[in-house]
Chain A
Amino acid sequence: MDWITKNLPYLMAGVSVGGQYALIAIGYTMVYGILRLINFAHGDIFMVAGLIMVYATTAMPIYIAIPLMIVVTVFLGFMVERVAYKPLRSAPRMSIMISAIGVSYLLQNMALYVTGGLSQQYPTIPWISDTVTIFGATTKRVTLITPVLTIVLVVALVLLIKKTKIGMAMRAASRDFETSQLMGIKINSVISMTFIIGTFLAAVGSLLFFTNYTGVTPTAGAMPGLKAFVAAVFGGIGSIPGAVIGAFIIGICENIIKGLGWTTFSDAFTFALLIVILIAKPTGLFGEKATDKV
């Protein structure tokens, strides 16, 4: 019992962080599945969502600020795709990836300009930031909500992909981009939809993530973004269940390492784990095996 009360906070934090990573990782994995693009800007969109929330709450009540933040973030994700990725659809893969890095650079620098480089105090959201006690361990309510909300959203997403027409189009596009185009699928609306879903989940993720931290800085999105991407690769990039499982594994491992007092190595351990997995399974846990045709 003593062991549980001592380690439960870390385990709970791990599950919670894992859920937040999962919400970001889905954006990476879906975009990669269709466009074969590492969307480096995704982590920064996540950060911008945090900043929008900061500025929105100063001007309006929180129950308007949250939907507004989500809508603005989704619009931002949509615009990024239209402006920076769509013109490069026929360009080599490297150019579009560089464009993603450019967008990430732009978003970070804009955030730097707007905030003046200072950390912005994230608003306290009532109810979910309240403190609760379970088995003698105190934590914020968000820690308990995150995994539940993540699972609900993921199930909804999986249903969307399996049951609806747009979901079918997405699956077709990720299986074979050109052929699905020939079959009459409006590829641009499918890609836009992918970005909209991805940024929506990232916006929800940022709401949960930043509640646990005091402030938002212009580079706050870089590390969670990278971790979430690692989670997506870990689970086999392109696979949604893979990304979710990968994110939970990484979140839990990271917090266990922190609990053992190795905080310096919590990031390094994540990457070491990734490298080990990739060596054993070169396309991640659930990734499709790539075969070269001669």
Chain B
Amino acid sequence: MNKRTKMMWNAGLIAALLATLFILEQILPSGSMFFTVLKKGAIYALVAVSMNLLNGFTGLFSLGQAGFMLLGAYAYAILTIPVESRGSVYQYFDGGIIQFTVPVPVALIAGGLLAAVFAFLIGLPVLRLKSDYLAIATLGFAEIIRAVFQWDKLGPITNGSNLLRNFPSFKSVLYPFVVSGICIALIVMLINSTYGRAFKAIRDDEIAAEAMGINLAHHKRLAFVISSFFAGVSGGLLAMYQTTIQASMFKSAMTYEILLIVVIGGIGSVTGSCISSFLFIACSEWWLRFLDNENLYLGGFHVPFLRPGFRKVVFALVIMIMVLFYRQGIMGTKEFSVEGIADFFKNKFGRKKTAEGGASHE
């Protein structure tokens, strides 16, 4: 399959996916859990891919994702709350000091940029650390950010530890899909560029990469800043999805969740991260919900143990089983692609490949 057919296939698949979503949205009731899962899944897919860029492709073990999402979410919310409702949102701070709004896309990008700037600054000292030390330093950084944003003295900007609300949000499920899709496409392009190859070289062997003439500090910083940028954007999207935000949402538990998604999807696989984020969200929010129902009868048999909270226990068990028995994750380091499926079917049902390496029937 040559490059052009591949691109057309991919474009066709994406168009078909968006069209299906559009049609489903017209048919199904808008309160359906299906859409909740899709919206949140798309947002988590973006942040998971951004984390994968660091952990899977550059080999930097960073746990600061929640902090960068917080920056993006706050920047988005602060820049888009309509001026007339600022009085009620910032009720303890005389309406706050920021009295202008910017369009939604600009605010999302601003959120990403804020996260990127912070990543650059924190990266200067922290990126010299190795593996676990880097992880705990970035985790600590995220906790510091969370504390600073809850500080009363910054209240006129961040509203202290109170909720931020009334900012514009999205209705259609297409919105997070398109934004996340564009961002993930950009990340994929980066991974396939010379920079991406340098990142992978650093992941595989730092010393060898340095000997090959790759500037370690520069590339690590670049990966860190770009990953944080997209985490910031996804933070903005998460704010839109939740419709209210508060600094206390962005705990380290959130970073662990994203790390679980990345690992279950397969470290070093972009499509794996996307698939697993949808599965993860669907499992935790939707498919297991019946387990919280106390009065569940299976043909007259009252199922024991069921009460609110049981769903999460089962979900945690499912995750443990996944981790213990699928060490490589769903996709391993492979990618889901049109080519792969075509090859799969060709091997299964088509003519046998010739010794020269594939029949050229395209």
Query: In the complex the two chains form, is A38's CB within 8 Å of B319's CB?
Result: no
Q: Which residues of B contact A109 (CB under 8 A)?
A: 309, 312-313, 315-316
Asked whether A294 is an interface residue with its Cβ less than 8 Å from the other chain, the reply is: yes
Indicate with 1 or 0, residue by residue over A83-105, a CB within 8 angstroms of chain B CB atoms.
01001100110110011011111
| Contact partner, B256, options A40, A233, A267, Cβ 8 Å | A40
Q: Which residues of A contact B151 (CB under 8 A)?
A: 264-265
Closest B residue by C-beta to A106: B316
User: Closest CB-CB distance, A227 to chain B, in whole Å?
Assistant: 10
Asked whether B104 is an interface residue with its Cβ less than 8 Å from the other chain, the reply is: no
Interface residues of B in 317-359 (CB under 8 A from A): 317, 319-320, 323-324, 327
Count A-B contacts at CB 8 Å.
125
Query: In the complex the two chains form, is A98's CB within 8 Å of B137's CB?
Result: no
Query: In the complex the two chains form, is B152's CB within 8 Å of A264's CB?
Result: yes
User: Closest CB-CB distance, A91 to chain B, in whole Å?
Assistant: 5
Query: In the complex the two chains form, is A282's CB within 8 Å of B133's CB?
Result: yes
| Contact partner, B260, options A98, A110, A237, Cβ 8 Å | A98
Asked whether A274 is an interface residue with its Cβ less than 8 Å from the other chain, the reply is: yes
Q: Which residues of A contact B316 (CB under 8 A)?
A: 102, 105-106, 108-110
Contact residues of A: prevailing secondary structure: helix
Interface size on B, residues (CB 8 A): 47
Query: In the complex the two chains form, is B309's CB within 8 Å of A279's CB?
Result: no
Indicate with 1 or 0, residue by residue over A179-197, a CB within 8 angstroms of chain B CB atoms.
0000000000000000000
Query: In the complex the two chains form, is B143's CB within 8 Å of A294's CB?
Result: no
CB-CB under 8 A for A275 and B256, given A84-B324, A106-B313: no
Asked whether A117 is an interface residue with its Cβ less than 8 Å from the other chain, the reply is: yes
Assembled-state Cα–Cα distance A65/B16 (Å)? 63
Q: Which residues of B contact A8 (CB under 8 A)?
A: none
Asked whether B298 is an interface residue with its Cβ less than 8 Å from the other chain, the reply is: no
Pick the most buried of B135, B141, B267, B327: most chain A CB atoms within 10 A of its CB. B327
Indicate with 1 or 0, residue by residue over B138-155, a CB within 8 angstroms of chain A CB atoms.
011101101110111000
Asked whether B252 is an interface residue with its Cβ less than 8 Å from the other chain, the reply is: yes
Query: In the complex the two chains form, is B323's CB within 8 Å of A268's CB?
Result: no
CB-CB under 8 A for A113 and B147, given A91-B327, A272-B140: no
Asked whether A71 is an interface residue with its Cβ less than 8 Å from the other chain, the reply is: no
Q: Which residues of A contact B256 (CB under 8 A)?
A: 40, 101, 104-105
Query: In the complex the two chains form, is B140's CB within 8 Å of A275's CB?
Result: yes
Closest A residue by C-beta to B264: A98
Asked whether B35 is an interface residue with its Cβ less than 8 Å from the other chain, the reply is: no
Query: In the complex the two chains form, is A271's CB within 8 Å of B132's CB?
Result: no
